[in-house]
Chain A
């Protein structure tokens, strides 16, 4: 599932560092310490926080060196202590420290004036009236910004105001891994298996990571606080004050708008009555996952409207249930195939066959005209006269950026892409930045854009956080995204991947030895014959540097794995890595270069598409 490897830290680095202090039970020598610190070197992250990755080799090796270096310190510290101090006294001191901090913890938790500050807790307002860093929105972009601000500004005090009742979490698993969990209680645990087999929660951090909002101005080293279930409804950029839906006012020094977006609905459904709205899911949040999961166990038929990322992923996830418990899963959309706005048509139709094999009844070229209740069921009427009966509808038809604040704040909304218009540094005003889905930013390489992907939220949130602490950096590190649709389709992409652009796809030709799994499973569903016919019709010669004789595709050849280049004015502006993984740095480099390449097959060689 997850193949992106970026050095990560979190708990295990902590574990490594912790072992730096000699354990009270008196470990014998440095060698042990060295051995134990092998662990963190293997640390890797899921794609969830991946992208933000440093150039991989570089990051990895420096972390490696440092962690190993740290082990020297551990050893050093130990040896130092053993030699220069009375060992017993040291051990007892460590024990005292440990006990003391435990006592502290049980005594403090909520508000201990002694440890948290000087003012009496009673005198503290629930919400501080002023914060240095105010982040509006509590999604991935806001969390990434908070982390970045805290990392760069020692003791920074960051307040996140989030409409969501939950603490910051990552959304991708809601339409991906969580559906494939074996745990029957997954809707409660919200834990999923990462590519390396390790489990984690969708929450970025446990509650103890955050400080209570009322203590934020007082905690010694600052921290991050989250006001959940609150919405900023007014923004006074002259006075640097925002107003919440409950009337509370908060002033700020620097502000990030990371309000994300709301799922769009179809006008045809909006027009329909209330009883239809009740049988409709607009998928975005944890609650939506929980509800849809429950519904998928209760109804006989679910129809997903939308052929993009969310719609296709949910269709595949539900399709699996279709097979295990007889649920009917229908996916309909106006395009010719799944991911039709992203993938070139041949690949989109190939993918559609794969989605069908996941148990989904895919209906392309379907435009919804109306939805009505028919007896106990829902009746979807299409423009071409077809009718679809179903029990529940999931509309996955895109996102509307949340820009309500533009009016009171006097901020510009982009008329083409939507979203707050910001410069290359994600800045809307001198002390206001925008990140994530809601930001329409200027990409120096690719022009004005707005991107709705998890990794973009990570990358842009991080960048905004850096700029809020004085970095003055433009959007430079391209974000990526990924999607998996069943066992045969997994891809990662970067840059502008728009199916209206001309593309060059270079695929590994299957040989008897190297047959993609998908090829062996291919059972003549028509797609192969279709591509053969097309090939014969439009076969063209390949450039001179490649093999001399063009050939007709043979049985067993398909789009198992490869790389697809998207071109604008002959320059590669987007790349899809199709069933090949861990190549993102090369793709990123090619986009960054922005050079014209005479032969993209030569560029494709850089990706080693025949290797795993």
Chain B
């Protein structure tokens, strides 16, 4: 059971979980999907890459930004059957650049491995399927 009180200009409402279990009747304005000012994710509504996406951290603006962008765009726009298989040079250039900045792009040796590839794929069915989707979508 909720209760409410007023302290001067301030109103205070206490509600129980049950009080708030019924759906909200508040109406929100429908968002304009093409709002030019709205912050966008990594891929803009028109399919372009949003290099200013905070999700990229310093990747696009750092010293290897150019290499990163070129590799990433190549991949994004790749129409090869194996998406991105035409981007090997770009990715190599990016890796080369990154090796010059171990502070910024720390090299980590990972020691796992040796598992059977098929098993790995099974272990990650979700990724595998999403990867497929991505491949098919552009």
A residues with a Cβ closer than 8 A to B are 6-11, 13-15, 17-21, 27-32, 34-38, 45, 49, 52-55, 58-66, 68-73, 75-77, 79-81, 94, 97-98, 101-102, 104-105, 146-152, 154-155, 205-209, 211, 221, 223-224, 344-346, 462, 465-466, 473-474, 476-477, 501-509, 511, 514, 534-535, 538-542, 545-547, 549-553, 557, 589-590, 593, 595, 597, 599, 601-606, 608-610
Task: Give per-residue flags for B6-35: 1 if the beta carbon is below 8 A from chain A beta carbons, else 0.
Answer: 111111111111011011111111010000
**Smallest CB separation, B5 vs chain A (Å):** 5
B41 touches A599 (CB 8 A): no
B119 touches A105 (CB 8 A): no
B5 touches A69 (CB 8 A): no
Can you identify 14 A-B contacts, CB atoms within 8 angstroms? A14-B106, A34-B121, A37-B127, A38-B124, A52-B39, A66-B42, A73-B78, A76-B83, A211-B63, A344-B7, A462-B52, A506-B13, A538-B5, A590-B28
Nearest A residue to B134 via CB reads: A69
Give the distance in Å from the alpha carbon of A102 to the alpha carbon of B95 in the complex: 12
Supposing A147-B58, A508-B15 touch, asked if A11 and B88 sit within 8 A by C-beta, the answer is: no
Size of the chain B interface, CB-CB below 8 angstroms? 100
Task: Knowing that A6-B55, A147-B61, A606-B26 touch, tell me 18 more A-B residue pairs with CB under 8 angstroms.
Answer: A10-B57, A10-B59, A17-B68, A34-B121, A35-B120, A36-B110, A54-B55, A59-B42, A69-B83, A73-B91, A94-B92, A146-B61, A507-B14, A514-B17, A546-B19, A547-B3, A547-B16, A551-B1
Nearest A residue to B109 via CB reads: A23
Task: Give per-residue flags for B122-133: 1 if the beta carbon is below 8 A from chain A beta carbons, else 0.
Answer: 011001101111
**Inside 8 A of A590's CB, which chain B residues have their CB?**
28
Q: Which of A8, A75, A223 contacts B54 (CB 8 A)?
A: A8
Supposing A11-B106, A70-B75, A604-B15 touch, asked if A151 and B61 sit within 8 A by C-beta, the answer is: yes
A474 touches B37 (CB 8 A): yes
Most buried by A among B75, B101, B104, B128: B75
Supposing A508-B15, A541-B4 touch, asked if A79 and B82 sit within 8 A by C-beta, the answer is: yes
B5 touches A223 (CB 8 A): no
**Smallest CB separation, A111 vs chain B (Å):** 15
Most buried by B among A53, A63, A509: A509
B residues with a Cβ closer than 8 A to A are 1-17, 19-20, 22-29, 31, 36-43, 51-63, 65-66, 68-69, 71, 75-76, 78, 80, 82-85, 87-88, 91-92, 94-96, 98-101, 103-108, 110, 112-121, 123-124, 127-128, 130-135
**Inside 8 A of A506's CB, which chain B residues have their CB?**
13-15
B88 touches A81 (CB 8 A): yes
**Inside 8 A of A37's CB, which chain B residues have their CB?**
127
Give the distance in Å from the alpha carbon of A6 to the alpha carbon of B41 in the complex: 11
Instruction: Sort A-B residue pairs by CB-CB distance and give the 8 closest, nearest first.
Output: A73-B84, A31-B117, A31-B120, A150-B61, A29-B117, A9-B57, A76-B82, A605-B24
